[in-house]
Amino acid sequence: MTSDLVVCGAGPAGRTLAHRALAQGQSVTVIDPRPGHRWTATYAAWADELPDWVPPGTLAATVDRPAVWTTRRIELDRRYVIFDTAALQDSLDLAGVRIITDRVVDIVPPTRFGPHALDMPSVRLASGPVLPGGRVIDARGIPRSPKLAEQTAYGVMVDRDQWPDPDTFFMDWRDDNGADSNEPRSFLYAVPLSDNMILLEETCLAGRPALDPQVLRERLIHRLRSRGITLTGDERIERVRFPVEGGKPRPGTFGAAGALTHPATGYSVAAALRTADTVAAGDTIWTPSARAVNRLRQSGLRALLSLPPQDLPLFFDTFFALSPAKQRAYLSARDDLPGTAAAMASLFAALPWRLRRHLASATVTLPRGV
């Protein structure tokens, strides 16, 4: 049987795409070495990013006005949601999907010549067979490489009453984690997972190389101890490491593999949820405007990597002083070229001259279109 759509990978992006293609009446095949693997990572999004079809029951917590601590406390006028990871995975029902437990070793474009000529794309499996499909989408993520900037984090899940601060922190850049001022910076991400549980996570936003999770663990323990929180060692742990660049904005890719990871934040799940219907229908999400925004975001990553560690809090203080509309344009509007450019221009104009010099040298040449 030849499926209308073959999806390589059953992570959040691949499963979302398969689920939405099935909802459109397509025949779908999903190939993954561990298709039934339960997700354990924490996923979150801005509430206004989510499409209407995402069930409310997939949300574990909602924060109406999250805070950031840069050089001061700033309250953000934008609702933030944290997913119930298990509920999100279960909501992306694959009943009716053909599931193959195997590894894709090659994706072959259509060809009319040679011993294995096919007039449609196909995948070659590790077990040997070649499987054709009406369309083949690669949603297997991005392999790690020393050449790619990564985000890393180390977090613990604790009872809510152990956290003395009433705030939820999207970013907390205070310097109470024991790191020297000239060392690469990390921030605290503190968000509720339920009414009685909170995630406290020391995060390296982006680095090439990124901070090792063991370093982040030591910083987290130091930070929490300085705030009167002592860990028992029995807490559930979350370790994070993934590339924030390296995806290709091509029709045959999706999710992180398809450049949906925001290179300056690491967020990708909401973008996959929001664009899955379009990709499932066979339409492009990579308009000229979206490609230009992707290039601007890549320049934003280079700017972040170029900044002296001690200046990151000031950089984010300036960013979060922008209007909510400009923040939203840069963080979420993947095909709004005027909005993204205006946000970046406003940020540049508001920064001190010494930071402008760093940004100018990092972004003077934008990468060519890919």
What is the pairing mode between strands 98-101 and 28-32? parallel
Q: Which domain holds residue 296?
A: 288-364
pLDDT average, residue stretch 140-158: 96
For residues 149 and 229, membership in a common domain is answered with yes
CA 86, 92, 96, 100 dihedral sign is negative
For residues 173 and 220, membership in a common domain is answered with yes
Residue percentage of the chain with pLDDT more than 70? 96
Task: Classify residue 55: in a domain, yes or no.
Answer: yes
C-alpha 225/C-alpha 234 separation (Å) is 16
Q: How many domains is the chain partitioned into structurally?
A: 3
pTM of the model: 0.94
Mean pLDDT of the chain, nearest integer: 94
Pick the more confident residue, 182 or 288: 288
State which amino acid sits at residue 298: Q
Task: Classify residue 299: in a domain, yes or no.
Answer: yes
Whether residue 370 is predicted with pLDDT greater than 60 in this model: the reply is no
Task: Classify residue 369: in a domain, yes or no.
Answer: no
Whether residue 190 is predicted with pLDDT greater than 80 in this model: the reply is yes
For residues 256 and 240, membership in a common domain is answered with no
For residues 180 and 269, membership in a common domain is answered with no
Q: 219-223 long-range contacts, Cβ below 8 Å, gap at least 24?
A: 219/177, 219/178, 219/179, 219/186, 220/154, 220/155, 220/156, 220/177, 220/188, 222/176, 222/177, 222/178, 223/176, 223/177, 223/178, 223/188
For residues 221 and 275, membership in a common domain is answered with no
What's the gap between Cα 308 and its chain centre? 24
pLDDT digits over 259-301, tens only? 999 998 999 999 999 999 999 999 999 999 999 999 999 999 9
C-alpha 276/C-alpha 351 separation (Å) is 37
pLDDT band at 181 (very low <50, low <70, confident <90, very high): confident
C-alpha 295/C-alpha 282 separation (Å) is 23
3-state helix, strand, coil in the chain (%, to 5): 35, 25, 40
Whether residue 368 is predicted with pLDDT greater than 70 in this model: the reply is no
The secondary structure element, H or E, covering residue 90 is: helix 85-91
Task: Classify residue 48: in a domain, yes or no.
Answer: yes
Task: Classify residue 135: in a domain, yes or no.
Answer: yes
For residues 52 and 167, membership in a common domain is answered with yes
For residues 130 and 229, membership in a common domain is answered with no
Whether residue 367 is predicted with pLDDT greater than 50 in this model: the reply is no
Task: Classify residue 259: in a domain, yes or no.
Answer: yes
CATH number at residue 82: 3.90.660
Whether residue 115 is predicted with pLDDT greater than 70 in this model: the reply is no
Residue percentage of the chain with pLDDT more than 90? 90
Predicted local distance difference test score (pLDDT) of residue 362? 73
**Domain boundary pick from 257, 286, 315:** 286
Of 97, 106, 137, whose CA–CA distance to 7 is shortest? 137
The secondary structure element, H or E, covering residue 226 is: helix 213-226
pLDDT digits over 44-60, tens only? 999 999 999 999 999 99
Predicted local distance difference test score (pLDDT) of residue 106? 95
pLDDT digits over 224-267, tens only? 999 999 999 999 999 999 999 999 999 999 999 999 999 989 99
pLDDT band at 366 (very low <50, low <70, confident <90, very high): very low
For residues 236 and 153, membership in a common domain is answered with yes
CATH number at residue 128: 3.50.50.60
For residues 29 and 106, membership in a common domain is answered with yes
pLDDT band at 96 (very low <50, low <70, confident <90, very high): very high
Predicted local distance difference test score (pLDDT) of residue 173? 98
Whether residue 136 is predicted with pLDDT greater than 90 in this model: the reply is yes
Task: Classify residue 360: in a domain, yes or no.
Answer: yes
Pick the more confident residue, 202 or 115: 202
**Domain boundary pick from 215, 245, 275:** 245
For residues 213 and 333, membership in a common domain is answered with no
For residues 122 and 270, membership in a common domain is answered with yes
For residues 229 and 128, membership in a common domain is answered with no
**Domain boundary pick from 245, 274, 301:** 245
Helix (H, G, I), strand (E, B) or coil at 299: helix
